[in-house]
Amino acid sequence: MDRFGARILARQISLLPMNLNLTTWLLSLRMIVSGGHYIPPALLRCRPAEPPGAERRGSMDPDEVAARSGLTPREAEVLGMLASGQPNKIIAGQLSLSEHTVKLHIHRIIGKLGVSNRTEAAIWYHRRGGA
C-alpha cells in the first residue's frame, strides 16, 4: 500500500478492502457505484503531489463544511463521519448522541444539501475537498 498509494490517490481509483464490517463495505460499494471513490484510511497517510495550478483539496474542518453548505457545525461534523463510512451507531457513540439524534442530523443534512440519501451526501462531501 505504501508503495502505490500516491499513484492510486492521483488516479482516483477506489479500493474496497474485504476486512471492513458488512455495513461499511456495502455503504462504500454504494458510494463507488454512484461515482464516488473509497480509499482505505491507511492510504490517506500519503498524498499525491498536486499538479501545478490545481485547486487545493484537503480535509475540511466542520466549520469550513458548515460555511460552504449552510449546515450547523454539528451537522457538518456528522457529515464528515458519515462520509468516512461510519454507521449511525458509531457516530452516536463518538459524539455522545443518541442514534435517533444522529438520524435527525442526517435527515437535515440530506435536506439542506439537496441530495437523496446518505451516500449522495458522502459524495457531496468528498467532491468538495473532504478527506
Tens digit of pLDDT for each residue in 44-103?
Answer: 554 444 444 344 344 556 666 666 668 888 998 899 899 888 899 999 999 999 999 999
Contact 75, 105 (CB under 8 A): yes
* Predicted local distance difference test score (pLDDT) of residue 104: 95
Report the number of distinct structural domains present in the chain: 2
Nearest to 92 by CA among 108, 81, 84, 83: 81
How confident is the model over 15-20, as a mean pLDDT? Answer: 70
> Containing domain of residue 63, as a range?
58-131
pLDDT(131) > 70: no
Is residue 29 domain-shared with residue 71, that is, in the same domain?
A: no
Q: Are residues 98 and 120 in the same domain?
A: yes
Mean pLDDT for 33-38 is 72
